[in-house]
Amino acid sequence: MVNTIVAVDSMTKLPDEIIGRVLVAGSHGGVYPAYLAAKSQVRGIVLNDAGGGKDDAGFASLAYLEALGIPAATCSHVSACIGDGRDMLRRGKISRVNKVAAKLGCLVHQGVGEAAELMRSAPWFEIKAPAYEESRICLSMGDGEPIVWGIDSASLVRPEDEGQIIVTGSHGGLLGGDIAAAIRVPAVACAFNDAGVGANGVGITRLAALDTRDIVAVTVDCMSARIGDACSMWDSGKISYVNEKAKTCGINPGQTLQVFAAVMRQVIKKHSTRVVKI
């Protein structure tokens, strides 16, 4: 078993032979990335706090992993870019730690690299991660209209989501500058969590990328809805940023996602019989 530090951009895209390693992952610090960490049998992990947000959802990984005996910490979203594990390892600062990590000497304001190095001294033991499934739910359906799908992670997008409206709990940061990864299907519109926007404005970078693909895109304020929770986004999320395509449709900051979906359906009815074009 190799005991090294590995930087990854997302917990949904892990390299082989991750067992026993310490991860610095660009994913948000919610429960699902924590579950993936435990399932992957890591020795310790640093995630991005995504601005903390509503109900401290961006820190939820800490208690989850503490209960399993795994050291965990979060990187301040203003110190390094969410979705960029290497940037977090290079310049990130710790915002919170769990008790297991604290016993190893991990501290708030410490460099992420230093904290990860300390986690290498943690004992490794096989973990049976509690079962956890991200939700995928139909939030709104109308006769002949695009369905609003709520998915807790953009990784849950399916080919049949083409031409639909997607509300995802994922952060709005573009991974690796890959425009195709902003959303994997040509949805008619999609919404993300702004993750506190953070360093270099990274938390909203999917928006401009989706303009180039003619896809309407918005983010909701992380303080208005829990990151990683599509139902929370739908129930209480308030739009914080919109792309140019959204502006032309009459979608503006401050609106709810219910309004967002209603506006999109009206635009589609007015301009086309096909939901994939506006």
Render pLDDT for 179-203 as a digit per residue (tens, 0 to 9): 999 999 999 999 999 999 999 999 9
- What is the rounded distance in angstroms from the CA atom of residue 175 to the CA atom of residue 83? 6
- pLDDT given at position 272: 63
Domain-wise residue ranges, the chain: 5-119, 136-271
3-state DSSP assignment of residue 168: strand
Residue 68: Cβ within 10 Å count: 17
Taking 50 as the threshold, does the pLDDT of residue 278 lie above it? no
Per the prediction, the chain carries an average pLDDT of: 94
Q: What is the DSSP annotation of 24-91?
A: EEEEESSHHHHHHHHHTT-SEEEEE-TT--GGGGGGHHHHHHHTTT--EEEE-TTTS-TT-HHHHHHH
Pairing of strands 72-75, 239-242: unpaired
CB 239 within 8 A of CB 144: no
Taking 60 as the threshold, does the pLDDT of residue 276 lie above it? no
Taking 80 as the threshold, does the pLDDT of residue 123 lie above it? yes
pLDDT digits (tens, 9 = 90+) for 16-48: 889 999 999 999 999 999 999 999 999 999 999
Kindly state the tokens that stand for 233.
């986004």
C-alpha pair distances (Å), 252 with each of 87, 200, 241, 244, 255: 31, 22, 8, 10, 6
pLDDT digits (tens, 9 = 90+) for 137-172: 999 987 778 999 999 999 999 999 999 999 999 999
Whole-prediction pTM value?
0.93
Average pLDDT (240-262) is 97
Share of the chain above pLDDT 70, in %: 96
3-state DSSP assignment of residue 19: coil
Average pLDDT (204-233) is 97
